[in-house]
Amino acid sequence: MTEVAVPSHTPPMPLIALTEDEVLFRENIRQFAEEKIRPYVREMDEKGVFDPAIIQQFFQLGLMSIEIPAEYGGGSGTFFEARLAVEEISRVDASAGVIVDVQNTLTANAFLKWGNNEQKKKYLTRMAADTVGAYALSEAGSGSDAFALQTRAELKGNEYILNGRKLWITNGKEAGIFILFATVDPAAGYKGITAFIIEKEFPGFSVGKKEDKLGIRASSTCELLLEDCRVPKSNVLGEVGKGYKIAIETLNEGRIGIGAQMLGVARGAWEFATRYTQERKQFGKALADFQGIQFQIAQMATEIEAARLLVYNAARMKDAGMNFVKEAAMAKLFASQVAERVTSLCVEIYGGYGFTKDYPVEKYYRDAKIGKIYEGTSNMQLQTIAKLVMGK
């Protein structure tokens, strides 16, 4: 078995207005990812199972509660810092990156913005301590048309009774808390959609099949089954009938998170390929001495830098309270395109070796594909951008 060579150095990365604390935070995350995640990446990918011991370390280091206020046991960090964490972890393993991303970006942020005091105290403290969160919107007939969902919630006394099936739920296997969307009135269309807080132990709730995927294989993607699932009336998140607003606003933030994940994936592959061109010799000289290879490395570096600027800018805008919807869509769209292009070219630079699992770039290539699909396909991002720049 060929040993996977880890780059001995990371090419200098521009700070792009990072503060000293952010630089230190990034370096600490990078070191953790290299030392505690990378040794297990290949095994987790092959088995399609994420090591629970690493998730425990995520909690111990505060990576699962970066933005959760200190009063609930979190780090009181910024949205931007959470993006740095997702990027650096995804540089080593995209599966690890998306676990941290969903916890911080989708689940915790939804509680922070829409939860009442009792819900925050009850659930954010658990999420900061030891409980993984998940976000359940998609269904078999409800993907890009997110509000065509069929899961039904019927109020009976002090409880809602939920029936339906959710698909493609990230963190489904590990999660103990789910933010799940159902309609209280199908005739009302999107105005009937409501967000519910579901605990894994609720009667009538179960986790179904785990998908066998092309990429991010260690990240669990599961179906959720609701069969007369009983949910306390107090577990409505936000207001009844306002679930569509929660979903839209949360996913806008989520797109920046996926942009950060794809940025990390592209960087990770590029670093390995750059190192390889310096080691691999053909026709008596290193690949890096050929102008054609130099141009490819330079083009990839330029596109990665452009993706970074888009992702970082969108994250800064979110933290500043600015309208970031267009910038988030652009960041997610472009970063996913760059990740796919860069990882594909890195496989080609490795040649035949790049097509084998003995070397790391084929996994980066597989992991990159999901970036154009989840949390809004590329076509949906283009539609959003078109509406905002053209009024269409």
- Could you give the residue numbers annotated as active site? 375
CA separation for the pair 80, 52 (Å, rounded): 26
Identify whether the C-beta of residue 378 lies closer than 8 Å to the C-beta of residue 372: yes
Identify whether the C-beta of residue 30 lies closer than 8 Å to the C-beta of residue 88: yes
* Cα angle: 340, vertex 346, 352; to 5 degrees: 120
Please state the length of the chain: 392
* Two tokens, residue 227: 């069969």
**Backbone region of residue 35 per phi and psi (left: phi > 0; alpha: psi in -120 to 50; beta: other values):** alpha
* Two tokens, residue 116: 């009442």
Residue 6 Cα distances to 91, 251, 330, 352, angstroms: 12, 34, 31, 19
At 197, which helix (H) or strand (E)?
A: strand 193-199
Pairing of strands 205-210, 281-282: unpaired
Q: Is 49 exposed, middle or buried (0-12, 13-18, 19+ CB in 10 A)?
A: middle
CA separation for the pair 117, 146 (Å, rounded): 28
CA separation for the pair 58, 55 (Å, rounded): 5
* Two tokens, residue 265: 């994936």
Mutual angle of helices 361-368 and 94-101, in 10-degree steps: 40
DSSP letter at 121 equals I
DSSP letter at 280 equals -
Measured between its terminal Cα atoms, the distance across the chain in Å is 54
Q: Which residues are registered as beta bridge partners of 231?
A: 160
Q: Which amino acid is at 261?
A: Q
Instruction: Identify the residue whose tokens are 């993984």.
Output: 132
